[in-house]
Amino acid sequence: MATPETARDPLDVDDLPMEPMVLKMGPSHPTMHGVIELTLRLDGETVRAADVEIGYLHRGFEKMGEVSTWNQVFAYADRLNYNSPMLNELGYAMAVEKLMGVDVPERAQFLRVIASEISRICDHLTCVGAGAMELGAFTAFLYAVKAREFLYELLEKISGHRLTVNYMRVGGVWLDMPDGWDGAVRQALTDAAGVMREFHKLVTRHRIFFDRMEGVGIISQEDALAWGFTGPCLRSTGIDYDIRKAHPYSCYDRFDFDIPVGDKGDNYDRYLIRLEEIEQSRRIIEQAFDRMPGGPVVSSDPRVALPEKGPVYNTIESMMNHFKLVYDGIRVPPGAVYSFSEAANGELGFYIVADGTGKPYRVRVRGPVFAIMQALPQMLIGGMIADIVPTFDGINMIAGELDR
Partner 1 sequence: MIRVREKYGDRMTALESSYLTETLKGLSITLRHFLENTLTRKNTVTLNYPEEKKPYPERFRGLHRLMKRDDGQVRCVACMCCATVCPAHCIKIEAGEHDDHRIEKFPIEFSIDWLRCVYCGLCVDACPCDAIRMDTGEHPKPQIDRNGFLTTKIDLMKLGGPSVAVQGGVRPDNGEG
Partner 2 sequence: MSQAILERLKERYEDGVVETATERGDDCAVLKREILVDVCRFLKDDADFAMNLFVDVTAVDWLDRRTPRFDVVFQLKSITKRHRVTLKVRVDDGDDAWVPSVTGVWRGADWFERELWDMFGVRVDGHPNLRRILMWDGFEGHPLRKDYPVAGRQPLVPLRKSEVHVFENNPVDPFVVGLGVVREKSDGDA
Partner 3 sequence: MAKLTINGKDVEAAAGTNLVEAAKQVGVEIPVFCYHPKLSIAAQCRMCLVEVEKMPKLVPACQTPVAEGMVVKTDSERVKTAQAGVMEFLLLNHPVDCPICDQAGECALQDYYMVYDLTGSRSTVGKVHKPKVQDIGGGVVLDSERCVMCSRCVRYFDEITGDAQMGFFNRGDRVEVSIFPDSPLHGEYCGNVVDLCPVGALTWKDFRFKCRVWFLEKAASVCPGCARGCNVTVEHNEGKVFRLKPRDNEAVNQCWMCDEGRASYKFVNEGRLLDPVVREEKKGVTTETLSSQRSEERKAYVKKEEAKAGSREPHTRKAVVVTWERALAVAAEQLVKVVATKGGAAIGVVLSPQATLEDNRAVVRFAADHLGVTAFYMGGRLDGEGDAFLRLADKNPNRAGVLAALEMGAVARGLAARTADDVVADVESGKLSALIVMGNNLPVSPDARARLVSAAARLDAVIVMASNRSELVDAATVALPSATFAEKEGTFVNAMGMHQKLRRGIALVGRALPETQIVQKLAAKMGFDFRPAREASAASPATAAPGAH
Residue 156, binding choice from partner 3, partner 1, partner 2, none, Cβ under 5 to 8 Å by partner class: partner 1
Instruction: Convert residues 281-310 into a mask of x (bound to partner 2 by CB under 8 A) and - (unbound).
Output: ------------------------------
Residues 315-354 that bind partner 1 (CB under 8 A): 316, 319, 322-323, 326-327
- Provide the sign of the torsion angle of the four alpha carbons 117, 123, 126, 130, taken in this order: negative
Coil/strand/helix, residue 26: coil
User: With binding defined as CB under 8 A, does residue 18 bind partner 2?
Assistant: yes
Among 262, 349, 390, 394, binds partner 1 (CB under 8 A): 262
The mark string for 244-263 relative to partner 2 (x by CB under 8 A, - otherwise) is --xx----------------
Rounded-to-integer distance, Cα 401 and Cα 286, Å: 29
From residue 308 to residue 327, the character string flagging contacts with partner 3 as x (rule: CB under 8 A) and all else as - is ---x-xxxxxxxxxxxx--x
Half-sphere exposure of 143 (CA within 13 A, CB side): 21
For residues 210 and 213, give the distance between their C-alpha atoms in angstroms, rounded to a whole number: 5
- Exactly one of 49, 259, 353, 381 binds partner 1 (CB under 8 A); that residue is 259
In SS3 terms, 95-160 reads as HHHHHHCCCCCHHHHHHHHHHHHHHHHHHHHHHHHHHHHHCCCHHHHHHHHHHHHHHHHHHHHHHC
DSSP string, 33-76: SSS-EEEEEEETTEEEEEEEE--TT---HHHHHHTS-TTTHHHH
Amino acid letter, 99: L
- What is the x/- site pattern for partner 2, positions 324-363, by CB under 8 A? -----------xxxx-x------x-x-x-x-x-----xx-
Q: State whether the Cα torsion 248-251-257-262 is positive or negative.
A: negative
* Size of the residue set binding partner 2 (CB under 8 A): 62
> What is d(CA 123, CA 395) in angstroms, rounded to the nearest whole number?
12
Is 50 one of the binding residues for partner 2 (CB under 8 A)?
A: yes
Contact 382, 329 (CB under 8 A): no
CA 212, 215, 219, 221 torsion: positive or negative? positive
Q: List contacts with partner 3 (CB under 8 A).
A: 302-303, 307, 311, 313-324, 327-328
Give the interface with partner 2 as residue ranges (CB under 8 A): 17-24, 39, 41, 43, 48-51, 54-55, 58, 60, 62-64, 66-67, 98-99, 101, 225-230, 234, 239, 241, 246-247, 335-338, 340, 347, 349, 351, 353, 355, 361-362, 364, 366, 370-371, 373-375, 377-378, 381, 403-404
Residues that bind partner 1 (CB under 8 A): 68-69, 71-72, 74-76, 139, 146, 149, 153, 156-161, 164, 166, 174-175, 178, 198, 201-208, 210, 240, 258-264, 269, 272-273, 275-276, 306, 309, 312-314, 316, 319, 322-323, 326-327
